[in-house]
C-alpha cells in the first residue's frame, strides 16, 4: 500500500508520466455478477427526488447476482460522462441509470454511442427515434398521485387556501400544480392554490421563505415540487400547517402534519427493468406509466385525514387505476379566463399536448412567467 | 509609508525601475515553494486518513482508491485532466487580479457571461465556417467575461467598492441574466422541461485532443497560464502590476497608471473565465442552460489560493483538484463515503496550505546560497 502513496506523491510532484504505463486493470473478477450503476444529481438522502431513486436502487440489492454502484451529487456537465465511464471501466457496470433530467443530452447520448453494447436507462422520458437504441428514457405520470393528494388537501383545508412551492414554470411542474388543484376542487370547488416559483430545483432558503409567506397568508395546506421537499415539509409543520409530500414519503419528518403525498415507485420499476435486462429481453426505449403501472403511488393517508376525504380520494385513485378517469378533461379554463381544453375533449395521459403545458388552471393564483 | 517606500524609488526613472530582474528574488527560495506545499498536502492526506478511520474505513484503502481513481489508469488520467481543464482558466480569474492585491471571487459569473456571449455569437453566425464560428465564440466569450470582471475592477477603482463583494454579487446577477435569457428570449421552444438555448450545431463543436477524451480547453488553459506567467513575471507591464500590488501608493508616486492596470488585469482575468465558459459550451454542452453553473468558477478560487496566486502553479494544482474530483466517485462507490468527504479533504488541504504560509523562511537549508 505504501507503494501507492509514494507513486501518488511522485505524480503530484510532476513526474506524472511514469504512471501511464503502470495502469492496472481494476475490473472486479466476479464475471457472473451484473453491475448496475446509479448516478444522482443531489444527495441520496435528500428526502426527495434523489432519495426516491436511491430507494429504487436499494430494492435491487436483494436480487441475486446484482451488484449496485452509486454516486451522488454529480453535476450535469462532462462530470457525469466521466462518472458513467468510470463505473463502466473501473466497476464493470453494464446497466446504468443516470437519473437526472439534464444528464440526457448531450452527456448520456454521448456515452451510449461510445458503449453500444451497454444499456443506459434515463429518468425523464426524453427518448426519441433519432437517439441510440441502447439508450432508454422512462418517466411516471406523477400528476395522477398529485391529483389524489389534491382531493385530500381539498377536504382538509379549513381556509380553502392551498399553497404550492414550485421550482420552475416548466410543463412537468405546471402539470402537477394543475392536477393537484383540480383534485382539490373536487372536494371544494371554490378552493384556490397560491403558487410560488423559487427559480431552481434546490433552493432551501427560498423554499423556507416561500413556505412561511404562504402560511402567513392564511394557507393551511402546503405542497411542493422541488428536488428536496424536506425544508417545505418541516417548515410548514413547524408553523402549524398541514402538508402533502412529493417524491418520497416525508411522513417521518412531520407525522402530525403529513396528509398524503405523490411518490415515485422506483422500487417496483427498477427490479422490473433489471429482470428484463438479465433475461436478455429488450427494455422498451420509451417507458411510461402512472398509478396503474405502479410507477407512482400515493402516500398512506395521515391519521388526521377524515373518512370523507379518504373515501373520495380512494374512489378517484381506483378510477385512475382502472383507466376510467381522465384528469385533464374539457372544459378546462386557465386562470386568465381562456379555455385551454375545450368541452368534450379528454386529454389522456399519453396526449402529447399535455407535454407542452404552459398554463395554470382556474383556481391557481400565480403566473407562468 | 509614503516617505519610506516612495523616497528611495523616486530617484530612479520609471524605465530603470522596471528593468530590474523581478524574478531574481524567487530563485533562491524555489525549493521552499515545492517542499512546503508538498508537506502541507501530505499532512492533509494524513489528517483525512484519520478522519476516514473515524468512520471505520481503512485509510490505506482510501489512499489506494484515490490514487487509482485519479491517476491509476489511463482512463483515470483522462478523467482527472477533463475535470482540471476549466479550473485552470477559472483559477486565473482569481490569480491575475491577486497580483494587484485584489481578491476577485466572481469567476463563476464571468464564466456564465462568457458562455452566454459565446452561444450568442455561434447562434448569430450559423452559416459561417466552423473555424470562424469557434474563433468568434472564443472572442465573444473572452470579451463578455472580461467586461464582467472589469466591471468589478472599475467599481473598485472609480467608486471604491470592495471588489471581493462586488465580484461575488455579480455572480448572482450573471446567473439571473442567464436564467432570464435561457428561459425567455434565447429559449429553444422545443426545450420544454429543461429550458436551454438552441444548439450551436454539431459542426461547430470543438472535439477532443487526439487519442484522448480531454477537450482542447485543457491545452488552452495551459497556454493561458503560461502567457499569464510571462505577462506577470517577465514584462514591464507585469512588473508594474506587482509594484502596484505591493504598495499602491508607491506605484502612484513613481507614476504608474494604477487605474489602467486594474482595468486591464481584471479584463484579462475575466477573459480567462469567459474562455472557460465558451469551452464548456463549444466542447461539452453544445448550448447554454443552467447546467453551466456547475461551480467551476468557485473551485477556481480554491485552486488560485492553493497555487499561491502563481499562474504556473495553477496548472499542477488544477490537476490535483481534478484528480481529487475524479477519485471522489471511486471513494463513494468502493468505500461508501458520502460525496461531502471530498469537500472535507479539499477543506483540509486549503487550511493546511494557508497554515503552511508561516513556515516560509524557517528552513534555512532550503533557501540555498541565495538566502
Alpha helices in A217-358, H assignment, sequence order: 230-238, 266-278, 307-322
**For the domain with range A143-263+298-365, which CATH number is right: 3.40.718.10, 3.40.190.10, 3.40.50.2300, 3.40.50.10800?**
3.40.50.2300
Task: Provide the pLDDT for residue B365.
Answer: 63
Task: Provide the pLDDT for residue B17.
Answer: 39
Lowest mean pLDDT among A157-171, A234-248, A303-317, B19-33: B19-33
Judging contacts by C-beta atoms under 8 Å, the chain A residues touching residue B291 are 75-77, 102
Task: Provide the pLDDT for residue B364.
Answer: 65
3-state secondary structure of B332: helix
Helix axes of B217-234 and B74-98: crossing angle, nearest 10 degrees: 30
Give the number of domains in chain B.
1
Contact between B63 and A26 using a beta-carbon 8 Å cutoff: no
**Is pLDDT above 80 for A7?**
no
Task: Provide the pLDDT for residue B217.
Answer: 95
Q: CATH code at B67?
A: 1.10.3470
A366 CB-contact burial (10 Å; exposed 0-12 / middle 13-18 / buried 19+): middle
Mean pLDDT of A179-206: 96
Residue in A with minimal Cα distance to B318? A12
Residue in A with minimal Cα distance to B42? A9
**Is pLDDT above 70 for A1?**
no
Q: In 3D, which of A26, A87, A29, A89 has the Cα closest to residue A57? A: A87
d(CA B306, CA B321): 10
Q: List, run by run, the mean pLDDT of 10-residue segments along chain B (371 residues).
A: 37 39 48 84 94 90 93 94 97 97 97 98 94 97 98 96 97 96 93 92 93 94 97 96 92 94 98 98 95 94 92 95 93 89 90 86 63 38
**Is pLDDT above 50 for A193?**
yes
Task: Provide the pLDDT for residue A339.
Answer: 96
Task: Provide the pLDDT for residue A29.
Answer: 44
Main-chain dihedrals φ then ψ at residue B147, nearest 5 degrees: -65, -35
Residue in A with minimal Cα distance to B281? A77
Contact between A71 and B329 using a beta-carbon 8 Å cutoff: yes
Residue A331: asked if its preceding bond is cis (omega within 30°), the reply is yes
Question: What are the pLDDT digits (tens) for A80-95?
Answer: 999 999 999 999 999 9
Mean pLDDT of A196-201: 93
Task: Provide the pLDDT for residue B367.
Answer: 59
CATH T-level topology, domain A2-140: Rossmann fold (3.40.50)
| More reliable by pLDDT, B12 or A323 | A323
Task: Provide the pLDDT for residue A126.
Answer: 82
Interface mutation vs chain B, best among A38, A78, A175, most B CBs within 10 Å: A78
In chain A, where does the domain assigned CATH 3.40.50.2300 lie? 2-140, 143-263+298-365
CB-hemisphere CA count at 13 Å for A50?
22
Residue A106: asked if its preceding bond is cis (omega within 30°), the reply is yes
Q: In 3D, which of A125, A121, A105 has the Cα closest to residue B188? A: A105
Round the average pLDDT of chain A to a whole number and report it: 90
Judging contacts by C-beta atoms under 8 Å, the chain B residues touching residue A355 are 192
**Which range, A18-22, A32-36, A90-94, is most confident?**
A90-94
d(CA A316, CA A297): 13
Contact between B289 and A102 using a beta-carbon 8 Å cutoff: yes
* Parent domain of B109: 2-370
Task: Provide the pLDDT for residue A369.
Answer: 78
pTM above 0.90?
no
Amino acid at each position: 500500500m505504501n507503494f501507492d502513496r509514494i507513486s501518488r506523491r511522485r505524480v503530484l510532484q510532476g513526474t506524472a508520466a511514469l504512471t501511464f504505463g503502470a495502469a492496472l486493470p481494476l475490473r472486479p473478477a466476479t464475471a457472473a455478477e451484473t453491475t448496475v450503476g446509479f448516478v444522482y444529481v443531489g444527495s441520496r438522502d435528500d428526502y426527495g427526488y434523489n432519495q426516491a431513486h436511491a430507494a429504487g436502487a436499494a430494492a435491487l440489492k436483494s436480487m441475486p447476482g446484482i451488484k449496485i454502484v452509486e454516486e451522488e451529487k454529480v453535476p450535469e456537465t462532462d462530470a457525469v460522462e466521466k462518472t458513467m465511464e468510470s463505473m463502466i471501466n473501473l466497476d464493470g457496470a453494464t446497466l446504468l441509470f443516470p437519473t437526472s433530467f439534464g444528464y440526457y443530452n448531450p452527456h448520456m447520448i454521448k456515452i451510449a454511442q461510445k458503449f453500444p453494447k451497454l444499456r443506459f436507462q434515463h429518468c425523464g422520458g426524453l427518448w426519441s427515434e433519432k437517439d441510440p437504441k441502447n439508450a432508454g428514457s422512462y418517466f411516471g405520470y406523477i400528476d395522477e398521485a398529485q391529483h389524489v393528494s389534491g382531493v385530500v388537501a381539498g377536504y382538509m383545508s379549513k381556509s380553502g387556501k392551498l399553497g404550492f412551492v414550485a421550482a420552475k414554470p416548466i410543463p412537468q411542474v405546471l402539470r402537477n400544480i394543475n392536477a393537484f388543484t383540480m383534485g382539490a376542487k373536487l372536494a371544494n370547488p371554490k378552493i384556490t392554490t397560491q403558487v410560488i416559483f423559487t427559480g431552481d430545483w434546490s433552493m432551501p432558503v427560498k423554499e423556507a421563505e416561500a413556505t412561511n409567506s404562504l402560511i402567513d397568508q392564511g394557507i393551511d395546506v402546503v405542497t411542493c415540487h422541488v428536488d428536496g421537499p424536506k425544508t417545505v415539509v418541516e417548515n410548514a409543520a413547524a408553523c402549524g400547517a398541514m402538508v402533502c409530500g412529493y417524491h418520497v414519503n416525508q411522513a417521518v419528518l412531520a407525522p402530525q402534519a403529513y396528509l398524503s403525498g405523490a411518490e415515485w415507485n422506483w422500487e417496483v420499476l427498477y427490479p422490473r427493468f433489471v429482470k428484463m435486462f438479465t433475461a436478455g429481453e429488450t427494455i422498451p426505449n420509451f417507458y411510461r406509466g402512472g398509478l396503474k403501472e405502479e410507477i407512482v403511488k400515493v402516500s398512506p393517508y395521515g391519521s388526521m385525514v377524515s373518512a370523507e376525504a379518504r373515501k373520495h380520494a380512494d374512489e378517484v385513485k381506483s378510477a385512475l387505476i382502472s383507466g376510467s378517469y381522465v384528469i385533464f378533461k374539457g372544459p378546462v379554463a386557465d386562470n386568465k379566463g381562456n379555455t385551454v381544453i375545450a368541452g368534450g375533449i379528454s386529454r389522456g395521459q399519453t396526449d402529447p399536448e399535455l407535454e407542452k403545458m404552459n398554463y395554470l388552471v382556474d383556481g391557481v393564483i400565480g403566473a407562468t412567467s | 509609508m509614503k516617505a519610506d517606500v516612495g523616497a528611495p524609488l523616486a530617484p530612479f526613472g520609471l524605465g530603470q525601475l522596471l528593468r530590474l530582474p523581478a524574478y531574481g528574488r524567487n530563485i533562491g527560495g524555489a525549493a521552499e515553494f515545492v517542499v512546503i506545499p508538498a508537506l502541507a498536502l501530505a499532512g492533509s492526506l494524513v489528517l483525512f486518513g484519520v478522519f476516514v478511520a473515524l468512520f471505520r474505513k481503512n485509510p490505506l484503502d482510501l489512499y489506494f482508491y484515490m490514487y487509482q481513481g485519479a491517476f491509476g489508469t489511463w482512463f483515470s488520467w483522462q478523467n482527472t485532466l477533463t475535470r482540471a481543464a476549466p479550473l485552470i482558466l477559472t483559477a486565473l480569474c482569481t490569480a491575475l487580479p491577486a497580483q494587484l492585491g485584489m481578491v476577485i471571487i466572481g469567476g463563476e459569473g464571468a464564466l456564465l457571461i462568457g458562455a452566454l456571449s459565446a452561444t450568442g455569437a455561434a447562434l448569430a453566425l450559423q452559416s459561417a465556417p466552423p473555424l470562424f464560428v469557434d474563433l468568434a465564440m472564443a472572442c465573444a466569450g473572452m470579451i463578455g467575461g472580461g467586461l464582467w470582471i472589469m466591471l468589478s475592477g472599475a467599481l473598485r477603482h472609480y467608486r471604491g467598492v470592495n471588489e471581493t463583494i462586488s465580484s461575488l454579487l455579480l455572480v448572482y446577477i450573471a446567473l439571473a441574466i442567464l436564467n432570464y435569457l435561457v428561459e425567455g428570449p434565447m429559449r429553444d421552444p422545443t426545450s420544454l422541461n429543461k429550458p436551454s438555448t438552441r444548439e450551436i450545431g454539431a459542426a461547430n463543436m470543438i472535439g477532443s485532443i487526439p487519442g484522448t477524451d480531454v477537450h482542447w480547453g485543457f491545452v488552452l488553459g495551459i497556454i493561458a497560464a503560461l502567457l499569464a506567467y510571462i505577462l506577470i513575471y517577465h514584462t514591464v507591464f507585469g512588473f508594474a502590476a506587482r509594484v502596484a500590488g505591493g504598495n499602491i501608493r508607491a506605484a502612484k508616486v513613481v507614476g504608474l497608471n494604477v487605474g489602467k492596470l486594474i482595468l486591464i488585469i481584471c479584463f484579462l482575468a475575466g477573459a480567462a473565465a469567459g474562455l472557460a465558459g465558451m469551452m464548456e459550451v463549444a466542447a461539452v454542452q453544445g448550448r447554454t442552460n443552467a447546467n453551466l453553473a456547475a461551480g467551476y468558477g468557485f473551485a477556481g478560487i480554491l485552486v488560485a489560493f492553493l497555487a499561491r496566486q502563481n499562474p504556473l502553479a495553477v496548472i499542477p494544482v488544477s490537476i490535483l483538484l481534478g484528480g481529487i474530483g475524479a477519485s471522489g466517485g471511486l471513494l463513494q462507490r468502493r468505500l461508501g463515503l458520502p460525496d461531502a468527504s471530498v469537500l472535507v479533504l479539499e477543506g483540509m488541504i486549503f487550511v493546511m496550505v494557508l497554515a503552511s504560509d508561516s513556515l516560509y523562511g524557517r528552513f534555512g537549508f532550503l533557501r540555498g546560497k541565495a538566502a
